[in-house]
A = this chain, B = another copy of it.
Amino acid sequence: MRYSKSFVKTLRSAPKDETARGAQYLARAGYVHKELAGVYDYLPLGLKVLDKIKTIIREELDAIGCQEVLMSTLQNPEPWQKTDRWDIKKMDIWFKTQLAAGGELGLAPTHEEPFTNMMKTYISSYKDLPVYTYQIQTKFRNELRAKSGIMRTREFIMKDLYSFSANMEEHDRFYHKAEIAYQKIYDRLGIGNDTYQTFASGGVFAKYSHEFQTLTDVGEDTIYYNQDKSVVLNEEVLNDEVLAELGVKRSELESAKAAEVGNIFTLKTKYSEPLGLEFTNQNGERQTVVMGCYGIGVSRVMGVIAEKYADEHGLVWPEQIAPYQYYLIGIGNAGTQKAEELYNKHQDVILYDDRDLRPGNKFADAELLGIPYRIVLSDKTLAEGKAELTNRATGESKLVTIEELAF
């Protein structure tokens, strides 16, 4: 991308109510634009980050046999009434709306009901199982308070996967595959080393669920961990009964701030039973389908990563999800000419700052935008036949030949 062609400019200040550092940078660098509290637009660079996150998630889920669909936002009350989640007292984050033709509709805050309901069309025999299906779709939650930029919003992009199995053994096998796929996803997103799978509360139907929590000072949660025993707990399940069961003492646990970046649930028949999702087993008997659900907040993960790695100068994107790998600056006639050449050869990976600005402003924007590597070409570097390559995360600079830049 040629920066001079982008309609987005970096801004001196973020919206006043944006308190988290990463959220301020996302607004100032032009990744997002705030519509109202908890509602954001994604500008071209932000959309690129989202797309890279989506691609990583898709690849890992497709690799374990999941099939992608796209479900609707508008929801018929009926299936939600059957599972007792339509009433705002039971699920208080509904946005509801009126159909002009008559009747109430909801904006889906999650999709267990429509997926379960739809599968009644496609699952009738044990031969139809298992089924693993997911979507990457916009969800709506009527949060009383939205905060931390795109980490907790009223409108957000989520990947939600649902598994449909004949029995608990089949379910458990896939649940374990999903755990591994999730860890691969976080590795590829650049947060694998700091992301832990924690025991979380499982609701009525599963004793525990699991969350994936990424260590970060701006996290809303506190996790308790004992690395020797590989035990990591959410605060909500930190009680004597759970500790005894896991064979760990409270004094052996350390705590850390963390942000949830995913969760997986064993649902058993919580939704399939009230909605009547059954199949005929090998003995000709009717059985209820066993379900699991597996979520990753795509825009939330982008927000968590922005917060986690931000420093005093701006954003720092992991290479895997950065909108571009290189931020290119040419200084002087020779530097600019060489920069043009380099950009024309590698447009896909370079954000070329060809704006009519002083180098100092370009250096500042390079840091604010958090592109992993900055390349500077100037009379000075070219005198040695080289370019200056600076790592955004470490700040280290070195002179390298053009050939050494690994495009």
Contacts and interface: CB of A to CB of B under 8 A. Distances in A.
Interface of A: 5-9, 11, 33, 35-37, 39-44, 46-47, 50, 65, 67-76, 92-93, 95-101, 105, 107, 114, 118-119, 121-123, 128, 131, 133, 138, 140, 142-145, 154-155
A278 to B, nearest CB: 16
A287 to B, nearest CB: 18
A160 B29 CA distance: 24
B36 A74 contact: yes
7 contacts: A33-B121, A41-B118, A43-B69, A44-B67, A73-B155, A74-B140, A92-B100
Given A7-B131, A73-B73, 5 more contacts: A9-B122, A35-B71, A74-B154, A99-B154, A138-B138
Given A35-B76, A114-B41, A100 B142 contact: yes
B69 A101 contact: no
A154 B155 CA distance: 19
A8 B101 contact: no
Given A121-B33, A143-B100, A155-B73, A68 B44 contact: yes
A223 to B, nearest CB: 28
Contact of A118 (B33, B98, B118): B33
A142 B8 CA distance: 33
A74 B35 contact: yes
A23 to B, nearest CB: 16
Contacts of A100: 92-93, 142-144
A401 to B, nearest CB: 33
A7 B133 contact: yes
A128 B6 CA distance: 9
Name A's interface SS: mixed
Nearest to A131: B7
Nearest to A115: B41
B67 A41 contact: no
A105 B154 CA distance: 12
A182 B39 CA distance: 31
A44 B69 contact: yes
Contacts of A7: 67, 119, 122-123, 128, 131, 133
A96 B97 CA distance: 6
B41 A71 contact: yes
Given A95-B97, A97-B97, A142-B100, A65 B35 contact: no
A100 B144 CA distance: 6
B36 A76 contact: yes
Given A74-B140, A100-B142, A42 B67 contact: no
A119 B8 CA distance: 9
A42 B71 CA distance: 6
Of the listed residues A40, A50, A122, A128, the one surrounded by the most CB atoms of chain B closer than 10 A to its CB is A122
B118 A73 contact: no
Contacts of A37: 101
A124 B100 CA distance: 40
B65 A5 contact: yes
B73 A138 contact: yes
B69 A47 contact: yes
Nearest to A128: B7
B97 A69 contact: no
Nearest to A43: B69
